[in-house]
Chain A
Amino acid sequence: MIASNLQQLAEALIRKTISSVELTQLYLDRIARHDHQLNAYITVDAAASLAQARWADQRLAKGEGGPLTGIPIAHKDIFCAAGWRTTCGSRMLDNFVSPYDATVIRRFAEAGAVLLGKTNMDEFAMGSSNETSFFGPVRNPWDVSCVPGGSSGGSAAAVAARLAPAATGTDTGGSIRQPAALCNLTGLKPTYGIVSRWGMIAFASSLDQAGMLAPSAADCARLLNVMAGFDERDSTSLDRPTEDYCREIDARQADKPLAGLKIGLPKQFFGAGSDPQVMRLIEAAIVDYQTLGAEIVDTSLPNMDLSVAAYYVIAPAEASSNLARFDGVRYGYRTPVYRDLNEMYSRSRAEGFGAEVKRRLLIGTYVLSHGYYDAYYLQAQRIRRLIANDFAEAFRHCDLLLGPTSPSTAFKLGAKAADPVQMYLSDIYTIAVNLAGLPGVSIPCGFADGLPVGLQLIGNYFSEARLLNAAHRYQQSNPWHLRLPPAFAE
């Protein structure tokens, strides 16, 4: 059962070869058996999940199933779910039980999915290794001495070890694509604005976008069909006609399925700085794409080198304001002893936030300060526009862009924890996509020394269907994504 994709699971449920309760229990058992090695989940509530599964079985019995009815899905603990503890990986929200559902959670519930549990993550999604979580680091199922990537590291580890068939994530600077790459998963960061941010705890509002991590591109397309859609509660949500993101995947397989597709190789993705083993696999994948009929062209994103610097101004600036609400006044952590209001604030926040969060709040506060705003924040916004223009220029003569997702495979726990700049550079290939608001997907393209390597495809705005189809066609002939980490294959 754990080797089944979402379509197969849905069919099995409809044919009643398995019930939702059985399927949910199967995954709950796997979590109970394996998660002590991974720490992928922050909260599991078997009773709540099974209640939802029973309800799903009733609907299935009446033939009322939706696209995901009865399928257990894990959610990154950044999504508020009514009645569930929602921590965002922070001590600040250790005791916070959400009274409401995020739109993403609601849409999954409406599609019949079962909420399997809330996955671990870097604190407030700030990190690339899942080591900043208040609930401890998550480990990579392919090598438990390595990180799974971050910030959606819990979701990545859970799906990679098949402690969930699929999971949601959020991607502010690579937080879906990088852990997907490091854990041998397909991870999609959609176009900014097509998935509602309502109920998704904000890190950097102009960059945050919900997406998913699953074994295959076809799974991602099924999930995106559920997640995407206009939401009047999110002013940055885009009101556009509903799309079927599976339509190209479901179309008949041709001999050269990607004939006519132009894939650009931005030279900035192919310079020095990446692990040569990673680059060899990327080069091999380029050849595979040519075999599938795609035309490969050279291109350039001249300002991409500035993306990490711009990102580390804009994201902390927004975060410094977004996280101001965590003040100990109304909910969340409050220091037990304080003499006055200022002490309550400073101690609650000093004790409630971890080091990386505090570092970014300080950076963000600094760059927005009087006298520095123009030099940092406004300058970074200008760079952001330049980067978006670079992509626009590239998409004038390419349909998709291709490159590595991450410069290296999974690194050891603690290896970069002491050096924030090294850590920030793990997102060097993903950040520009967020700055431009474009969709990007990471797909498995092989292994280096037993660790997965991810290939990144970037599309123009709203090109998810084409992007996922390009990923799917590759996966049809290069099924790296079907490999399971040996320790969790049983």
Chain B
Amino acid sequence: MKEWEIVIGIETHVQLATRAKIFSASPTAFGAGPNLQANAIDIALPGVLPVLNKTAVEFAIRFGLATGSDIAPCSIFARKNYFYPDLPKGYQISQYESPVVVGGELAIQVGKETRIVRLTRAHLEEDAGKSLHEAAGHSPRGKSGIDLNRAGTPLLEIVSEPDMRSSAEAVAYARALHALVRWIGICDGNMQEGSFRCDANVSVRPLGQRDFGTRREIKNLNSFRFLQQAIDYEVCWQIATLEDGGEIEQATVLFDADSGETRAMRSKEDAHDYRYFPDPDLLPLVIDRAWVDRIRAELPELPAAKRQRLVSDYGLSDYDAVVLTSSQEMAAYFESAVAVAGKSNAKICANWLMGELSARLNREGREIDATPLSASQLGGLVARIADGTISTPVARQVFDALCEDSGVSADEIISRRGLRQISDSDALEEIIDAVLTANRTMVDEFRAGKEKAFNALVGQAMKASKGRANPHQVNELLRRKLS
């Protein structure tokens, strides 16, 4: 049996988080009643004209700068002509032959390994509206409705080179892209609402063959899980087809999330002739250097640069750096916490953020921007752990208390509840003597050679101190007294 190589390229429609649409002043907010966010331009009344939203262009430039792409000094909006009820003008305005962003690359993390995926281009276009179909049973023949709220929403279509070789890489690419567009603030990343949708071009070829196999394009995958499932299914199907002596026909396919299968929607033969031509209502989009430079200056530190800095400045591992730069909010939280806790305590901050806090957020289904405790609260807590004021078990108590009250600091909780760690030898000795008196059996067992009994005694001492005893000192004192 042959060995097969999988080849994947991804086209992503990123909905740009502009307030107004790309060619009209209508708002883009999600969830309004049908057609309430569709003005004369969006419904394509006779005589209306498009005017380009400059913010959408700025967002495209931001993306280009963040991926090391070329920003085209002049790009062209074309008309893609086809009839569909949710396409009011009978054409979609989209950049075709000359896109605004050309080339570039994106680093992706596959397990412990970093790989580079090249980008072909990114271009601006408008979204279509939505067709809503009444269930056929509802009336004799189900009616269809059109909602044009989404019509004219700005999209950046980002096209990768066919550089991915597994569904895991495809997902890693999609995740990295998703993180990046949110990081640079051009997309809200909300996949349920369709703000980030992927099409995967999938083909297979015998390992070692230079030419690509025939590809099929899986449309509209709006979750990472579906992306993975769809590609896995498609790859198995293509390999099985070829091994059975069949041929792959170029086609557009849809992924059915219920069955987990892909099925052909249209083949190459019935592909549309879109009759692209430059839109005479819009001038060529001219971008001068000064505009690009201004946007570059306003760009936040990018995730790759920040990752490097976290490793070199704070001595974090690559893995920690990747997790902490999964979003700008996460990174900002981390850095604010470190600012309070002190640079030397960065690793402890990272551990608490990625451990205790992330677990809590996961449990509650929240993101870091809806955290129950502020970065300075966490930083204050870490500072008290690091300087030995509180023990780890006590720190968990303080953490929980901080989560309940955003107005209070770790120090206040510690003093109010008297949680300061007991490191004073006299006080500790008193506690230990009491424990030894009360647990004669255990002492005897230890003396008889049962090492476990020692741990039990430490536990008793900790318990007697309500967790405040310095465990290290308790250990030492006990050993001395029992020897």
Interface residues of A (CB under 8 A from B): 79-80, 86, 88, 93, 96, 98-100, 102, 197-202, 204-206, 232-236, 317-318, 320-321, 323-327, 329-331, 341, 345, 365, 368-370, 373, 377
Contacts and interface: CB of A to CB of B under 8 A. Distances in A.
A341 B143 CA distance: 11
A147 to B, nearest CB: 26
A321 B277 contact: yes
B283 A235 contact: yes
B146 A329 contact: yes
A321 B273 contact: no
A204 to B, nearest CB: 8
A324 B49 contact: no
15 contacts: A80-B47, A98-B45, A99-B40, A100-B40, A197-B47, A206-B280, A235-B281, A236-B281, A318-B280, A325-B44, A327-B83, A327-B85, A330-B146, A373-B276, A373-B277
Contacts of A100: 40, 45
Contact of A369 (B52, B89, B273): B273
Contacts of A318: 277, 280
B43 interface: yes
B48 A321 contact: no
B91 interface: yes
B44 A330 contact: yes
B405 to A, nearest CB: 52
Nearest to B44: A325
B49 A197 contact: yes
Contact of B88 (A96, A320, A325): A325
B282 interface: yes
Contact of A345 (B83, B89, B282): B83
A206 B278 CA distance: 11
A368 B275 contact: yes
Given A100-B40, A368-B81, A368-B275, A324 B89 contact: yes
Contacts of B81: 320-321, 324, 368
Nearest to A366: B275
A48 B281 CA distance: 32
Nearest to A317: B277
Contacts of A102: 47
A327 B91 CA distance: 12
A304 to B, nearest CB: 22
In the A-B complex, list the 3 residue pairs whose CB atoms are closest, starting with the nearest. Answer: A324-B90, A368-B275, A206-B280
Contacts of A320: 81, 275
Given A236-B283, A324-B90, A198 B48 contact: yes
B51 A93 contact: no
Nearest to A345: B83
A235 B48 contact: no
Contact of A235 (B46, B52, B146, B276): B52
B46 A96 contact: yes
Given A198-B47, A198-B49, 12 more contacts: A80-B45, A80-B47, A96-B46, A199-B47, A205-B280, A235-B52, A320-B275, A321-B91, A326-B46, A329-B146, A330-B88, A369-B275
A369 B276 CA distance: 8
Given A324-B90, A369-B273, A373-B277, A233 B146 contact: no
Secondary structure at the B interface, as helix, strand, loop or mixed, is: loop
Nearest to A329: B85
B307 interface: no
B50 interface: yes
Contacts of A234: 49, 51
Nearest to B81: A321
Contacts of B43: 330
B79 interface: yes
Contacts of A98: 45-47
Most buried by B among A235, A318, A373: A235
Most buried by A among B81, B89, B90: B90
A235 B77 CA distance: 12
A232 B83 CA distance: 29
Contact of B46 (A88, A236, A327, A369): A88
Interface string B79-98: 10101010011110000000
Interface string B266-284: 0000000101110011110
A330 B40 CA distance: 11
Contacts of A88: 46
A325 B283 CA distance: 21
B83 A324 contact: yes
B463 to A, nearest CB: 75
Nearest to B38: A330
A455 B283 CA distance: 33
A90 to B, nearest CB: 10
A321 B281 CA distance: 12
A80 B91 contact: no
Given A99-B40, A325-B90, A330-B43, A370 B49 contact: no
A98 B45 CA distance: 8
A202 B79 CA distance: 15
B144 to A, nearest CB: 8
Contacts of B89: 324-325
